[in-house]
Amino acid sequence: MVTPASTPAPTPAPTPAPSARSGALLGIAAFGVWGLFPLFFDALAPAGAIEVLTHRIVWAFLVCVVAVTALRRWGRVRRLLADPGSCALLVAAAILIAVNWGVYVHAVGTGHVLDASLGYFVNPLVTVLIAVVVLGERLRTLQWVAIGVGAVAVTVLTVEVGRVPWIALTLAFSFGFYGLLKNKLAGRAGGGVDALTGLAAETTVLFPVALVGLVVLHAGGTATFATAGAGHALLLVAAGPLTVLPLLLFALAAGRVALSTLGLVQYLTPVLQLLCGLWLGERMLPAQWIGFGLIWGALLLLSADALRAGRRPLPA
């Protein structure tokens, strides 16, 4: 008879640390909010893309003012804006993110959510391409194959649909170069700029232009803020907090979970956008299914390459 003392205790299954688990949930929440943006921006009709963009910038700036004041981070914002090199990078980054936001709102308002979804599927490929062309990085074989497949996908969509998918490409390239500028800004700032400080600085740059835009729209009688009901006005105001919220959720997640995990979770955003487009009544043409399929294949290649590279021992 075997006594309890001599019986080896069963090894408990490893469970993720609470911080990692909460980080994964925060990441899912951030990318989930971004993925459901088409439903929110669709609800802002009849406001046009310019009006939505200006409201988004103005109210996001005011939310940042409150948050930065509460956390006493104005010193960080002032240091960024006072340095000529950092300020130039911030202005360029602000212009790119404004273009990205404006094209995205235009895509939703004109029934091209599927094109917007394609843009964020293509974005990882564009980021790799920028690393080669701008930073001079050397790619591995699978990365080159992935870029080639992505180029074939864009060609198929252009030929079969009869037009260049400019919405998808604009979103992908504007966000890709925005990331490059943020990376350079982090280098100048000595290692990093937190998400709130960065957004506060960018919206500080954009706020005067957005405010003038709102004044012009109201003076011309084309603004809907005061003419389409209180509910519509509140939704336009909500564009500010909804811009800041997922960014802060992502920042919290990035500090608790591996970036490789966030890299996989990020595909939740374009998947949800694709589903939102179908929910809003858009129809996928056969050529679009082929193009999306090729892009998904390219992303699988990139993911496989990243996993394989992650298993290699780091150089001493």
Domain boundaries, the chain: 22-307
Q: Mind giving me the DSSP string for the chain?
A: ---GGGSPPPPPPP---HHHHHHHHHHHHHHHHHHTHHHHHHTTTTS-HHHHHHHHHHHHHHHHHHHHHHHT-HHHHHHHHHSHHHHHHHHHHHHHHHHHHHHHHHHHHTT-HHHHHHHHHHHHHHHHHHHHHTT-PPPPHHHHHHHHHHHHHHHHHHHHHSS--HHHHHHHHHHHHHHHHHHHHHHHTTS---HHHHHHHHHHHHHHHHHHHHHHHHHTT---TTTS-HHHHHHHHHHHHHHHHHHHHHHHHHTTS-HHHHHHHTTHHHHHHHHHHHHTT----HHHHHHHHHHHHHHHHHHHHHHHHHHSPPP-
The token duo for 179 is: 């990331």
Cβ-based neighbours of 186, under 8 Å, separated by 6 or more: 192, 193
Q: What is the mean pLDDT of residues 200-213?
A: 92
Where is pLDDT greater, at 181 or 135? 181
Block residue for tokens 């273009």: 99
Task: Name, of 66-80, 90-104, 242-256, the range with top average pLDDT.
Answer: 90-104
Write down the pLDDT at residue 170: 94
Tell me the pLDDT band of 157, cut-offs 50, 70 and 90: confident
The fraction of the chain above a pLDDT of 90, given in percent, is 34
Write down the pLDDT at residue 249: 86
Tell me the pLDDT band of 260, cut-offs 50, 70 and 90: low
Tell me the pLDDT band of 259, cut-offs 50, 70 and 90: low
Among 231-245, 257-271, 272-286, 289-303, name the one with the lowest average pLDDT. 257-271
Task: Tell me the pLDDT tens digit for each residue of 47-63.
Answer: 899 999 999 999 999 99
The fraction of the chain above a pLDDT of 70, given in percent, is 87
Write down the pLDDT at residue 95: 94
